[in-house]
Amino acid sequence: MKKALLLTLLSFSLAACSAGPFSAEEPEEEVPASSTVDDEEVKEKESPEADQETGTEEQTGEEGANEQKEEKVTEDGLIQVDKPESMTVVVNKNRKLPGEYVPPDLTVPDVPFYFNEDHPKKQMREEAARALEELFAAAEEDGLDLVAASGYRSYDRQKEIYERNVEIYGEEETNTFSAKPGTSEHQTGLAMDVTSAEMSFKLEQSFGNTAEGEWLAEHAHEHGFIIRYIKGMKEVTGYMYEPWHLRYVGEEYSTDVHEREVTLEEFFGYYPSDE
């Protein structure tokens, strides 16, 4: 029965941040591709290949990579990043944040959100929040209408989701579709999912073809952001194309990453399989 359900869900295309197949109304809080969406049991069975060796030997790493090389492998086989507060920290399904890391300077950027109430997911790190405000202002000047959807997500929230899945499915099975706490980039406070009224505030790949999505792909780097999950790079990033997921890395690197058209993993010389 359970298998059948998972197989059914397999046929849906659920992205890392999207609300998944059951997201008709509004963008849910973003969750890693593999985990549940809020209180719903929306699942995508991760393709194991996502975590395998990419075979790419080329190292395009920059100085930032060296800063982060002294890292340890934890009991669960994941690498624990040693500089979680770095603007260039690389977090993915194999690289987790330490313990219950909470970014030190979370604040709510002064940009429009698709909802009005206070919510932790409105937050970002201070520097990223200021940059996001500039990005939104620039978009507005160009006649575009960006709307923020989901930023910071706590370790505890991810843990809650993950543990609920373990209760239901057992740990082994859960690990095949649910992100472990500490492995979501949203926990860094450097990510924000953005959408638009045209998208009915949903997080879907078609956003990349809208004026807002195209503008972001072209201009986000001017304000220190990159489109974190670019097309066709799931084997490297662990995620499908997500034109809505902005990651702040700072202007020192954003333009370079953009111009090289590489993932953050490639840029800094990390791969999901680096264990």
Shortest Å, Cβ 165 to Zn ion: 19
204 belongs to the binding site for Zn ion (CB under 5 A) = no
User: Which residue, chain included where needed, has tokens 């209408």?
Assistant: 145
Residue in the shown chain whose Cβ atom is closest to Zn ion: 17
- Interacting span for Zn ion (CB under 5 A) from 12-20, 93-101, 121-129, 205-213: 12-20
Kindly report the backbone phi and psi dihedral angles of residue 168, in degrees, each rounded to the nearest multiple of 5, phi listed first.
-80, -45
149 belongs to the binding site for Zn ion (CB under 5 A) = no
- Interacting span for Zn ion (CB under 5 A) from 22-30, 38-46, 54-62, 79-87: 22-30
Separation in Å, CA 47 to CA 1, 3, 14, 182, 185 = 20, 15, 12, 20, 19
Separation in Å, CA 188 to CA 79, 184, 185 = 15, 8, 6
Q: How far apart are CA 147 and CA 133, in angstroms?
A: 11
Q: How far apart are CA 237 and CA 240, in angstroms?
A: 8
If the CB atoms of residues 131 and 169 are measured against Zn ion, the closer one turns out to be 131
Residue 247's identity, in one-letter code, is R
30 belongs to the binding site for Zn ion (CB under 5 A) = yes
DSSP assignment of 49-118 equals GGGS----------HHHHHT---EE-TTSPEEPS-TT-TT---BTTEE-STT---TTEE--SS-BS--S-
91 belongs to the binding site for Zn ion (CB under 5 A) = no
Shortest Å, Cβ 115 to Zn ion: 16
245 belongs to the binding site for Zn ion (CB under 5 A) = yes
Shortest Å, Cβ 56 to Zn ion: 24
Q: Please tell me the count of residues contacting Zn ion according to CB under 5 A.
A: 4
193 belongs to the binding site for Zn ion (CB under 5 A) = yes
Among 14, 17, 148, 230, binds Zn ion (CB under 5 A): 17
Closest CA to 89 of 249, 275, 234: 249
Q: Does residue 132 contact residue 192 with C-beta atoms inside 8 Å?
A: yes
If the CB atoms of residues 88 and 187 are measured against Zn ion, the closer one turns out to be 187
- Interacting span for Zn ion (CB under 5 A) from 56-64, 83-91, 113-121, 185-193: 185-193
Q: How far apart are CA 239 and CA 173, in angstroms?
A: 19
If the CB atoms of residues 96 and 169 are measured against Zn ion, the closer one turns out to be 96
Q: Does residue 269 contact residue 236 with C-beta atoms inside 8 Å?
A: no
Shortest Å, Cβ 184 to Zn ion: 8
Shortest Å, Cβ 42 to Zn ion: 15
If the CB atoms of residues 29 and 266 are measured against Zn ion, the closer one turns out to be 29
In the complex, which residues of this chain contact Zn ion (CB under 5 A)?
17, 30, 193, 245
